[in-house]
Amino acid sequence: MRSRFALGVVVRLSLSVPAALLVLGAGARPARAVDQMVDARVLGMGQALRGAAVGGAGPLLNPSGMSLAQNYTVEADYLYASARSDNFFHGAIVDSTSGFKIAGGLYYTYHTDDPAGPASGHGHEAGLALSFPFGDHVALGGTAKYFSLSGDQRPVEGNAQVTFDAGMTVRPNGVVSVGFVGYNLRNLHAAVAPLALGYGIAVAPDPDVMLVLDGYSTLRADLPETRKGTRISGGLEALLAKKVAVRAGGGYDGITQNGFFTAGLSAVSEVGALDIGVRQDAFQEGRQARETLAVVAVRLFVPVPDHP
């Protein structure tokens, strides 16, 4: 009798444990290829522009980069990510026309997702960024960010939370610039705002050509959608006849364990630009689904006043 009872327990365990693992596996959510808004120019260059994050890229990517160029930019973007049906609606204003090259930026992003599982969510993000140059070669910057999130985007500590980014850009000469940035340094324990580090280099051998190489490392993995990992990527941009910008890039995303390539195109004029960018996962090492990202943006260039 004891042997039959033991055999029955073993059989039941052998059937129930795999079934439980299947249930857990079905409920696991994929890590995000994109956790915040990415503008079209950055996406087309392999999600790599931390060494020269001018204009609207500054508040999101590296706030210190806003002081690298004097411009006044207004932009509107829409980004779609396929794996979790993410939609980002984004608007930003960046003003770096100060005679002292002090720059400021303001942005707002509305984000929704609708993954295959039962959970979905939406969120509001607003940010204020400032950049201060120290001489001609170093700039420091920071972005204060407010999140109001619900559903699967909701932080562990509550719906509304505040965090911040801090960055530095070093430009030893007019050709090379290097950027370092920390993201969400007050950890919100939210998948859309992971604690992370970014670093990158930009080389511009010609005013119309730029090559970039970046790294982005997430530091915590305390949620189903988050994973420790590093994305290494690079890209290039060429401005043709001052009218058309073409971009290409790629890399390996250790967060999603997918390799990817990117491309972008812009129609440019003195008053503004129309931009598109795409990312397509090309191969995968793990079980993560391949993802497609696509973004379209409109930028308006406000005339810059002359400074003595």
pLDDT band at 290 (very low <50, low <70, confident <90, very high): confident
Which residue is listed with tokens 């795999």? 18
Confidence of residue 5 (pLDDT cuts 50, 70, 90): very low
Higher pLDDT, 4 or 259: 259
Who has greater pLDDT, 122 or 103?
Answer: 103
Q: Which band of pLDDT confidence, cut at 50, 70 and 90, is reported for residue 160?
A: confident
Pair of tokens at residue 16: 């129930």
E strand segments, 9-137? 72-81, 86-95, 103-113, 121-134
Rounded Cα distance between 149 and 146, Å, is 10
CB atoms within 10 A of CB 175: 11
The pair of structure tokens assigned to 107 is: 């942005």
The answer to whether the CB of 262 falls within 8 A of the CB of 47 is yes
User: Is the pLDDT assigned to residue 123 strictly greater than 60?
Assistant: yes
**pLDDT for the residue numbered 256:** 85
More confident residue, 283 or 234: 234
pLDDT top residue among 101 and 268: 268
Task: Please give the C-alpha separations between residue 236 and each of 44, 48, 152, in angstroms, as whole numbers.
Answer: 9, 9, 35
Cα gap 66→140, rounded to integer Å: 10
Half-sphere exposure of 143 (CA within 13 A, CB side): 29
Q: Express each pLDDT in 95-111 by its tens digit.
A: 999 888 899 999 999 99
Give CA–CA dist 146/251, Å, rounded: 30
Q: How far apart are CA 83 and CA 256, in angstroms?
A: 11
Percent of the chain with pLDDT over 70: 81
User: Of residues 7 and 253, which shows the higher confidence score?
Assistant: 253
Q: Under a CB-based contact definition with an 8 Å cutoff, are residues 238 and 209 in contact?
A: yes
What pLDDT, on the 0 to 100 scale, is given for residue 255? 87
Cβ(298)–Cβ(91) under 8 Å? no
Choice between 90 and 2, residue whose per-residue pLDDT is larger: 90
Average pLDDT over the chain, rounded to whole?
85
Length reported for the chain:
308
Predicted local distance difference test score (pLDDT) of residue 33: 72
Q: Coil, helix or strand for 14? A: helix
pLDDT of residue 55: 93
Q: Is the dihedral of CA 63, 60, 203, 206 positive or negative?
A: negative
31-302 topology per CATH: Porin (2.40.160)
pTM for the predicted model, two decimal places: 0.85
Question: Quick one: which H or E segment has residue 171?
Answer: none
What are 217-250's pLDDT values in tens digits? 999 776 666 678 999 999 999 999 999 999 999 9
**Residue pLDDT, tens place only, 177-229:** 999 999 999 988 888 889 999 999 999 999 999 999 999 999 977 666 667 89
Measured CA to CA, the distance from residue 80 to residue 140 in angstroms comes to: 31
State how beta strands 244-253 and 258-268 pair.
antiparallel
pLDDT digits (tens, 9 = 90+) for 27-46: 445 666 777 899 999 999 99
Q: How do the domains of the chain map onto residue ranges?
A: 31-302
Q: What is the per-residue pLDDT for 308? A: 52
